[in-house]
Structure 1
């Protein structure tokens, strides 16, 4: 029986939605399994303090992952996010050290990240250089600038105000103990976790409800068809890379604020975690597929995996190997899905 074009499109959309839901469910079950396994291995894994540690670690991965998701959906990749994170955090630390108020310094740090992203987008769209090579170049440039500005030395003594974003918490309850020292009754919700939720909601709204989001999906699905349909493909790509850079800058500020020290060497290999979070969460490296909620699940999988392995005493080198295998497996599953 012949099917109309509308019917075929409807069935295709239903299949895509079913695949998306299946991938999210698989990611959620994987997260639950990891939590159960690590909880049996170490009773302290389910403690409140460790839960807050996971939230803090995941906030940086999640911010990077959201920006990476936008880029991957367009069919690109951003290998520079770790170095941009370091550069933005370093610039912010230098400005605060020079006497600038914390909030304006942090805003400038985010703008530095956005500028790096704009440069990536310009090189990719106007100079016609592949995203892999363009962002690899920016990875080296941003890291080199950060090291040159600081002489490869950390910037410390940035003051309590600089550490509020990374170490503060909402609804924290502290009371005076019997010994005269303060006692934390409820540690509160960390500001980085709240920031991640806000950015994730904004990213989801952008992709699902705004024209730019539809253009991002269209560009990644079929760039030529999107161009013929009136989508400004170059502008869409540049915007996606600028947002990725800005979020990398924001992640750098959160991380440096947690340390209360600007470290130009921070962020090494963070691009791997960001890509892993996006791909594990269902984003396709072929473009056109991905969502923020899936990336959040992927970020928590990576965060829980790293935290659990740390508590189990697994070395950082073995962790890199495991995360690498996770990325390969996720990409392989994505290829199987595309072939189907």
Structure 2
């Protein structure tokens, strides 16, 4: 009888957690619709196809980093290095193309692998050397930024050619017609390649978390690492995977950003790690681990992206934007803490 009661309690608790996750996600989705409604009313240019594609393109960077951050946070960790890692990865890709003469696709792979290597170092620091994730990734943040500045002499890497900008600026289903005056007219701007990548990666990682043994192990480690270890889960390998995934996505983000600029900036990506963490938390990922979804993170990324876009279109200064987004992050984390206490 006691066992039956205990099982009933566990089931009740699970259902309650699931309800909380759904409520948090719908709250974020409701906030997203409210922002769209407010900015559509205050700016005629906001609710247009061109601006929609612009927002989607801007959100991709937050989403890439947010997906990686979600997996790390679910295991109970944190990754503060992604902003610096993306800068280093983009710089490596650019230098490989410009100085070594490698094809663009190979240079991009070098950049992505650089991010993976940084993620692996983070994993070793956290799992083998037992450093707190905050300290380990903070150190990597400073090292990666320093290396990016050192190898470029703190100068931008330019002269990369048009082909380098294809990944960041190209689009699928772009429709252009030539008018009677001989000038091209864009009928449909197309779906940017980074947006397609974002959708594919979000679906793949979401499937991994929800439908695979690896995903169940990630949630198990975040819920209770000791219990997961006793159940036969290789906790070290699972935690390492999430940090490598986060670094790889940071490397991809760096390549996409530098491709959009057709210039590699060693100072790019400053404070991006906060946007990544904020997008995850806004979407319902708990900072204590064990809870989080990729769909929620995607919603959180669009909340931040639309908030920035709408404030820009309404002439709000960059300094005021920082204050507003900072307040959003504080309120969201506070709500997360209240949810965990209850």
| TM-score interval, normalised by the smaller of the two chains | over 0.9
Residue aligning to 1:49: 50
Please give the root-mean-square deviation of Cα atoms over the aligned residues, in Å: 1.1
Residue aligning to 1:169: 171
CA shift, 1:4, in A, is 2.9
CA shift, 1:206, in A, is 1.0
1:218-229 aligned at under 5 Å gives the runs 218-229=220-231
Residue aligning to 2:242: 240
Unmatched tracts of structure 1, length 5 or more: none
Q: Does the residue aligned with 2:130 lie in a helix, a strand or coil? A: coil
1:150 to 149, 152, 168: 152
Please state if 1:330 is matched with 2:332: yes
Relative to the length of structure 2, the TM-score reads 0.97
- Distance in 2 (CA, whole Å) between partners of 1:324 and 1:227 is 37
CA shift, 1:28, in A, is 0.6
1:313 to 305, 312, 315: 315
CA shift, 1:297, in A, is 0.2
Relative to the length of structure 1, the TM-score reads 0.98
Residue aligning to 1:40: 41
Residue aligning to 2:114: 112
Structure 1 residues 264-318: Cα deviation after superposition (integer angstroms, max 9, x where no partner): 1100000110011000000011011101000000000000001111111122222
Aligned length: 340
- Distance in 1 (CA, whole Å) between partners of 2:319 and 2:213 is 43
- Distance in 1 (CA, whole Å) between partners of 2:316 and 2:130 is 43
1:60-139 aligned at under 5 Å gives the runs 60-98=61-99, 99-139=101-141
- Distance in 1 (CA, whole Å) between partners of 2:315 and 2:98 is 37
- Distance in 1 (CA, whole Å) between partners of 2:299 and 2:268 is 24
2:268 to 263, 266, 269: 266
1:257 to 242, 256, 259: 259
Structure 1 residues 164-221: Cα deviation after superposition (integer angstroms, max 9, x where no partner): 1111111001111121111111111111110000000011011111121111111111
CA shift, 1:156, in A, is 1.1
- Distance in 2 (CA, whole Å) between partners of 1:248 and 1:317 is 26
The more displaced of 196-205 and 46-55 is: 46-55
Q: Does the residue aligned with 2:45 lie in a helix, a strand or coil? A: helix
- Distance in 1 (CA, whole Å) between partners of 2:136 and 2:225 is 19
1:185-200 aligned at under 5 Å gives the runs 185-200=187-202
Q: Does the residue aligned with 2:46 lie in a helix, a strand or coil? A: helix
CA shift, 1:12, in A, is 2.1
CA shift, 1:13, in A, is 2.1
- Distance in 2 (CA, whole Å) between partners of 1:19 and 1:57 is 29
